[in-house]
Structure 1
Amino acid sequence: MIGGLIVWLVTAAGSSLVTESHFWLLMLLRGMVGIGEASYSTIAPTIIADLFVGTKRSMIICIFYIFIPVGSGLGYITGAGVASLTGDWRWALRITPILGVVGLFLLVFLCPNPPRGAAETHGEGVSGQSSYLEDVKCLLKNKTYLWSTLGVTATAFLSGALAFWMPTFLSRAQVSQGLRPACVEEPCDSTDSYIFGAVTVLTGILGGILGSGLSRWLREKFPKSDPLICASGLLGAAPCLFITIFVASTNIPATYVFIFFGEILISLNWAVMADILLYVVIPTRRSTAEALQISVGHLLGDAGSPFLVGAISDALSKSKPVSPEWSFHSLKYSLLVCPVVGILGGLFFFLSSLYVIGDRKAAAQLVEGGPREPQDPSSEPPIELSNGDKTNHEDNLSQRI
C-alpha cells in the first residue's frame, strides 16, 4: 500500500508539470496514477477485514467507502476552485499529492499489518498457500462473487458517467434555456461543478450511512438482505436518473433534486457490496478477489462509460446541424444508457442474493472448520489447509451445499 500510494502521488504531481507538446506523457502519467491507486485499494479493505468482524466490520467498511463519493465530490469543488483561483488547471492536479503526503505519513507509522483472517480466528490467522490460478478458479465458482462483481461494474458505470458528464449536461441545459450564454470551453460556469460536487459529497455520506445501517439492521432477520439492498439501490436510482435527464430541459432546481435522490440510492451500495465480498471469500483470497473486481469494475464501468456516453452523443449530434440546443439534446439522449445499466445492475445483485447464504457459510467453514458465521468466531483453532486440501475441501463443501 505504501508503494502504491507513492506511485499515486508522484505520478499525479508529475502530470501537472507536462507541457502541451508532450500530451502523450500526460496520458501515460494519468494512467500510472490508476496503477498506484489500484495497488492501494485492493489491499486496504482486506486489512480492515483482518482487523474487524461482524457489525463492527460493516461500520468501518462504511466509513472507508463513504470517502469514495466524498473524495469525488471534493475533487470537483477543490479542483474548480483552485483552477479558478490560480488561472491554471494544472494546480487542480497538485491538490491530491499535497493531501496524500499526510495519508502516506499515517500509513507508514500507524497502519497495522495483521495476519490474514485475524479477526475471525482470535488473532491466529489463516495459513495455507495457493497459487494465483487456483485462487481465480475458486473465485469463478463463487456465484455470489461473480454476480456481485457485475453489480459493482454497473455501479461504477453510473458513477463514472455521471461524474464526467453531469456538470457539462447541466451547463448545456441552461444554455439551451437561454439562462446562460454559449461558450467555447465546457462547462461554461464552474458553478455547476461546485453544486454537483457538494451534492456528491452529501449524498455519499448519507447514502453510505443509510446503506450500512440497513445492512446491520436487516442482516440477522434476512440473510439475503445485503445484495437485495444493493439491488434496490440501483433499481431505485434508474427512474430518478430517467427523470433527471428529461426534467433538465425545463427546470434546473428540480433536476438537482432528482440527482440528489439518484446519487443517494447509488451510494447505498458502496459499503454493502464491499462487505459482501469480504464475507463470501476466505481471507487468503480476498486481495485477489478485490483486485479482479476492481479491474473488471473499472475496465467495463467508469473507465468506459464516459467514452460510451460521449460517443453516442457525438453520433447523434451529427444527424442535425450544430446548435446549442441540439448539443444539449444529443447528450440528453445518450445519457439514457445510465438508467438501463442501473436496471441491469439491480438484476445482477438480485441474482447474487440467490447464492449469498450458501457462499457465506462455505467461506465461514473454511476459516473456522465448522458451519459458523464469520461474525461469531468460535474458540476452536483455525484449520490449516494445503493447496490441494483447500481446493478439494471447498469443492466438496460447495457440492454438499
Structure 2
Amino acid sequence: MTSATPTTAPASAARKPRPNVVLAMLLVVYIFNFIDRQILAILAAPIQADLDLSDAQMGILGGLAFALLYSTLAVPLAALADRTSRSWVITVSLVLWSGFTAACALAQGFWHIFLARLGVGIGEAGGVAPSYALIGDYFPSSRRAFALSVYSLGIPLGSAAGVLAGGYIAARVDWRMAFVVVGILGILIAPVFRLLVRDNRPQVAPGEPVMARPRLADTARLLAKKPAFWFLSFGAASSSMCGYGLAFWLPSLLQRSFGLDLMQSAWFFGLVLLIGGTAGMLLGGWIGDRLGGRDRAWFAWVPAGAFLIGAPLFALGIMSGSVLLAFALFIVPQALVYVWLGPVLSAVQHLVPPPARATASALFLLINNLIGLGGGIYALGQVSTLLAPVYGDEALRYSMLLGLSLYLLAGVLMLLAGPGLRKGWVEEA
C-alpha cells in the first residue's frame, strides 16, 4: 500500500505526553464540538420565532448546512493530518468552528445562519478523524475500543452541555448570546490543546527508512474491497439518520407535545443525554474490547443487538403521555443507541494499516455524516411539515416514530458486517 522513502526520523524526540492526558484533551475538544452542534436544537424554538423559520428550514440548518462541507472536507483534511501533523490540524479546526459558532449570533435571516452553520461544518471537518487516529497511535489494540468510547463521551457530554447552557443563556439573555459564549470558550481552549497534545509517530533509528504516509487513493481502494467497511458505514449512517434526527427534534417535541418550557425541556433532554449516553458509550467500549478480542465479529454484533432492542423502547417513550414515564423510557434506549461508537470506530481503524487510520476514519465519517447528519434532521423536519395539516402539533411525534425504522435497518446491517470483520481485520505487529 505504501513504499519506503529515504527519509528518516530523528534519533531523539521531545518527550510525548501521557496517553491519558492526550485522551482528556481530545475529549475536551470533542465536547466543544458537540456543544456547537447541539446548541442549535435547544435554541430551535426561539430562533424559529425570531427569524420566522419552518421546521423544514430548521432541518436544513441542523443537518445539511452543517453536514455538506463537514462530511466532504473531512477526507482531504484527514489525509493532510496523516501526512503532516494531526494535532495541528485539530487545533486550527477548533479555532475555525468556534469562530463560526459565534458568528451565528449575527444572523438576521435564514441564509445568514445557513452560511454560519456551513462555516461550523468546515471547521469541524478537521477535528474528529485525526482525533481517532491519535487515539490509535497512543493506545494499544486491546484498549482502543474503550479509549474511543471515552473520547466519544464528548457526544453526550457536549450535547448535554449545549442543551443546558444554551437553554439557560437563552432564557436569561437571548439565543444570540448563547452562540457567542460557547464560540469564545472554544477559541480559548485551542492554545491549551496545542501545548499539551503532540503527534505520536513511530520512531526509527537514524538511517533506517520509514514508510511514507499512505495516499488517499490507496486507502480508499483498500477499504472498497472490504464488505465489512460498507456494512459498518451504512449501518452507522442509518443509525445516525435517526439518532441526529431524534436529538435535534426531541426538545421541540417536549415543548409541543409534553407542554414543557425551554428550561424544562433543556433539563429533561440534557439529563437523558448525560445519563443514558455516558452509560452507553462506556458499556459499548468495555463489551466491545472483551467480546471482540475473542471474535472480531462481535465489534459489529454488539451494536446490532443494541439497535434492535433500543428502537421499540424509544417508540414507547415517544408515545407516552407522561413526562416522568417518558424520561424513564428514554434513558435505556439512549444508552443502547450509543453502544456502537467504541466497537465500530475501533473496527474501522483495524481495516487498514496504522499510518492510514485518520484517512480511513474520515472515509467512514464521510458516509456516516453525509447521510446521517445531512439527511436525518432534515427528513424528520420535512415529514413533520407534511404531516402538520393532519396532526397539527403532534406531527413531530409521528415523524419521529417513522424515523425509528432506521435503527432497525442499522441493526440488520451491523449483523451482516460481522463475518467480514473476521476476514478484513489487519493485525498490528
Report the TM-score, using the length of structure 2 for normalisation: 0.74
Aligned counterpart in structure 1 of residue 297 of structure 2, from 224, 232, 236 = 224
Letter in structure 1 aligned against 2:299? D
> How far is the alpha carbon of 1:34 from its aligned partner?
1.1
- Opposite residue 4 of structure 1, the aligned amino acid is S
Residues 248 and 377 in structure 2, CA contact (< 8 A), matched pair in contact too? yes
Report the Cα offset of residue 84 of structure 1: 1.0
Aligned counterpart, 1:71: 158
CA displacement at 1:126 relative to structure 2: 6.5
Residue identity (%): 23
Q: Name the counterpart of 1:45.
A: 132
Q: Which moved more, 1:39-48 or 1:131-140?
A: 131-140
Residues 219, 295 of structure 1: alpha-carbon distance in 2 compared, 3 angstrom cutoff: closer
Q: Residues 272-311 of structure 1: matches in 2 within 5 Å?
A: 272-311=343-382
Q: CA offset at residue 351 of structure 1? A: 1.0
Size of the aligned set, in residue pairs, is: 338
Task: Determine which of 333, 354, 357 is the counterpart of 2:398.
Answer: 333
1:7 aligns with 2:96: yes
Pair member with larger Rg = 1
Q: Deviations over 1:111-132 (max 9, x none)?
A: 12122xx49x99x997135432
Is the Cα–Cα contact under 8 Å of residues 157 and 273 in structure 2 kept in the other structure?
yes
Aligned to 1:89: 175
Q: Deviations over 1:235-291 (max 9, x none)?
A: 1111112212222xx222111111111100011112221111111222232222222
Structure 2 equivalent of residue 198 of structure 1: 271
Deviation at 1:220, TM superposition (A): 2.9
* SS at 2:200 equivalent: coil
Contact 2:235 2:411 in 1 (8 A): yes
Unaligned runs of 5+ in 2: 1-89
Residues 162-202 of structure 1: per-residue CA shift (max 9 Å, x gap): 11111111222234xxxx7xxxxxxx432112211121011
Select which of 142, 146, 164 maps to 2:226: 142
Cα distance, 1:262–1:313 mapped onto 2, change above 3 Å = same
Q: Which amino acid aligns with 1:108?
A: R
- CA distance, structure 2, for counterparts of residue 45 and residue 220 of structure 1: 20
* Separation of aligned partners in 1, 2:336 and 2:301: 13
Cα offset for 1:19?
Answer: 4.4
Give the aligned partner of residue 131 of structure 1.
215
- In 2 relative to 1, CA 150–19 (structure 1 residues): closer, same or farther, beyond 3 Å? closer
CA distance in 2, matches of 1:229, 1:302: 23
Q: In the TM superposition, what is the alpha-carbon distance from 1:233 to its structure 2 partner?
A: 1.3
1:102 Cα deviation after fit = 4.4
The separation in 2 between residues aligned to 1:126 and 1:272, in whole angstroms, is 30
Q: Give 1:2-401 correspondences, 5 Å limit.
A: 2-16=91-105, 18-20=106-108, 23-86=110-173, 88-115=174-201, 118=202, 127-175=211-259, 188-247=261-320, 250-318=321-389, 320=390, 326-360=391-425, 363-364=426-427, 374=428, 377=429
- Deviation (angstroms), 1:141: 1.0
Q: Is the 8 A contact 2:104 2:116 kept in 1?
A: yes
- Alpha-carbon separation, structure 1, partners of 2:145 and 2:188: 25
What amino acid is aligned across from residue 158 of structure 1 in structure 2? C
The 3-state SS of whatever aligns with 1:299 is helix
Q: 1:261 to 1:339 in 2, by over 3 A?
A: same
User: Which region of structure 1 is more displaced relative to structure 2, 142-151 or 102-111?
Assistant: 102-111
Distance 1:77 1:59 in 2: 27
* TM, length-normalised to structure 1: 0.79
